[in-house]
């Protein structure tokens, strides 16, 4: 099973999936559009969230960083006049240093990531979507902001006029992702932000065409017109979409076989059909407030794949 992931909604589902199927059978293709160099090292938030999840280190209150990490270095630097913007934990920073050292020694991001996964004792394959630099910018009233500047420094408050994924059209899909897609025909798009988490993965040349030949199931990160969390509504509006499960399905309709919406979603199957969305619509409990709900959702998804 190949899972396309951002850094919050899909990791919650992966937390169930890894208890339902063997970890070795999971390949996660991770968004790197939010990566950023800070204090000399490459921070890759979505990759790190997935690493920490699979190595049982993740802070699952925030869904980023390491549980019980300290922030001594970050706070000491701030006290003498240097604000890193992102709160980098001390142990988390160790991951950034290792990744960056592997890169400085000539490794690709994919091989640096597989070394990290090995060091963490992870058996799932966790692959960055590309070895090339791809960066998501948010066009706002204060200029074009890196996603992290928009989300952390500006607290997502600016008006958003557009979102663009710089470097995507010239980037290549990571060779290990291409191999994984040749070997496996089941692709799950987790409940991640379709614009800033899944959008950059789909923006890579040949990705959408490849997905047309796969069995693709996606889970909505929006229940009816209510996002579970994060800036997805603002970002979808900037792309001319209203924030709804129907609009999420529209983002994927060229290659989507099954769309999983929440059991409480007020849209009916006919509402999707009326918008020209032809895939099967399945209802499930998608609000993953506990690992038990994540496990049940992962179970439901495995049954869907058995029937596609
Ligand atoms: P990011 O990288 O932190 O933006 O994380 P993702 O893109 O992976 O996840 C953010 C999206 O996950 C948001 O649009 C949320 O609405 C959605 N989300 C978060 N938790 C849940 C959940 O429990 N269920 C569902 N269906 N969506 C969720
Ligand atoms: N999110 C915040 O809202 N504030 C932070 O200070 C912050 C620090 C941070 C450090 C490492 C990391 O991997 C993620 C971090 N995040 C922080 C989350 C991050 O900004 C985004 O939620 C993800 O990029 C979205 O996937």
pLDDT, mean of residues 58-67: 98
What tens digit of pLDDT does each residue of 168-185 get?
999 999 999 999 999 999
Ligand 1 and 232: CB distance under 6 A: yes
Would you state the pLDDT for residue 137? 98
Whether residue 140 has pLDDT greater than 90: yes
- DSSP letter assigned to residue 151: I
CA 88 – ligand 2 centroid, Å? 9
Mean residue pLDDT across the chain: 97
CA 155 – ligand 1 centroid, Å? 17
Q: Which band of pLDDT confidence, cut at 50, 70 and 90, is reported for residue 308? A: confident
Ligand 2 and 45: CB distance under 6 A: yes
C-beta atoms surrounding 286 within 10 Å: 27
What tens digit of pLDDT does each residue of 1-12 get?
999 999 999 999
Find all residues with CB under 8 Å of 149, minimum gap 6, and list them: 85
CA 191 – ligand 1 centroid, Å? 5
Shortest-distance atom of ligand 1 to CA 227: 16
Residue having the nearest C-alpha atom to atom 24 of ligand 1: 287
pLDDT, mean of residues 53-69: 98
Distances in Å between the Cα of 183 and the Cα atoms of 28, 176, 178, 270, 305 are 14, 11, 9, 35, 16
What tens digit of pLDDT does each residue of 207-243 get?
999 999 999 999 999 999 999 999 999 999 999 999 9
Question: Would you state the structure tokens that stand for residue 183, as one six-digit string?
Answer: 């070997």
* Interatomic CA distance for residues 218 and 188, integer angstroms: 6
* Interatomic CA distance for residues 128 and 298, integer angstroms: 22
β-partners of residue 136 are 165
Find all residues with CB under 8 Å of 187, minimum gap 6, and list them: 1, 2, 3, 4, 181, 211, 214, 215, 216, 217
Q: Which of 37, 14, 10 is nearest to 25 (CA)?
A: 14
Percent of the chain with pLDDT over 90: 99
Would you state the pLDDT for residue 146? 97
CA 78 – ligand 1 centroid, Å? 30
Is the CB of residue 128 less than 8 Å from the CB of residue 28? no
pLDDT, mean of residues 265-284: 97
CA 82 – ligand 1 centroid, Å? 31
Would you state the pLDDT for residue 4? 98
Ligand 2 and 151: CB distance under 6 A: yes
Q: Which band of pLDDT confidence, cut at 50, 70 and 90, is reported for residue 43? A: very high
* Interatomic CA distance for residues 34 and 194, integer angstroms: 14
Angle CA 237–84–107, to nearest 5: 90
pLDDT, mean of residues 71-78: 98
Residue having the nearest C-alpha atom to atom 18 of ligand 2: 64
Ligand 2 and 51: CB distance under 6 A: no
Ligand 2 and 87: CB distance under 6 A: yes
pLDDT, mean of residues 55-77: 98
CA 11 – ligand 1 centroid, Å? 9
Whether residue 40 has pLDDT greater than 90: yes
Percent of the chain with pLDDT over 70: 100
69 vs 308 pLDDT, higher one:
69
Would you state the pLDDT for residue 79? 98
Shortest-distance atom of ligand 2 to CA 148: 20
Q: Which of 3, 42, 107 is nearest to 115 (CA)?
A: 107
């Amino acid at each position: 099973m190949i899972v396309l992931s951002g850094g919050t909604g899909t990791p919650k589902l992966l937390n169930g999936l890894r208890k339902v199927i063997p970890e070795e059978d999971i390949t996660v293709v991770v968004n790197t559009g939010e990566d950023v160099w800070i204090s000399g090292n490459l921070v890759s938030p979505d990759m790190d969230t997935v690493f920490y999840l699979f190595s049982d280190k993740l802070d699952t209150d925030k869904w980023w960083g390491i549980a019980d990490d300290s922030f001594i270095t970050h706070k000491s630097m701030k006290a003498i006049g240097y604000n890193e913007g992102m709160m980098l934990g001390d142990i988390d920073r160790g991951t950034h240093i290792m990744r960056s050292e592997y890169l400085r020694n000539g490794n690709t991001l994919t091989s640096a990531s597989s070394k990290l996964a090995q060091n963490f004792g992870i058996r799932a394959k966790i692959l960055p979507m590309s070895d090339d630099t791809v960066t998501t910018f948010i066009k706002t009233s204060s200029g074009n902001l890196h996603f992290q500047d928009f989300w952390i420094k500006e607290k997502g408050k600016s008006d958003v006029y557009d979102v663009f994924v710089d470097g995507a059209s010239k980037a290549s899909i990571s060779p290990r992702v291409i191999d994984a897609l040749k070997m496996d025909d089941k692709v799950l798009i987790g409940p991640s932000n379709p614009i800033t988490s899944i959008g950059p993965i789909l923006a890579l040349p040949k990705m959408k065409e490849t997905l047309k030949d796969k069995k693709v199931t996606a889970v909505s990160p929006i229940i009816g017109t209510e996002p579970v969390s994060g800036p997805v509504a603002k970002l979808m509006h900037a792309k001319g979409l209203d924030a709804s499960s129907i609009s999420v399905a529209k983002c994927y309709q060229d290659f989507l076989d099954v769309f999983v919406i929440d059991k409480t979603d007020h849209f009916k199957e006919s509402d999707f059909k009326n918008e020209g969305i032809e895939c099967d619509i399945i209802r499930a409990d998608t609000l993953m407030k506990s690992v038990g709900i994540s496990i049940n959702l992962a179970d439901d998804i495995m049954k869907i794949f058995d029937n596609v």
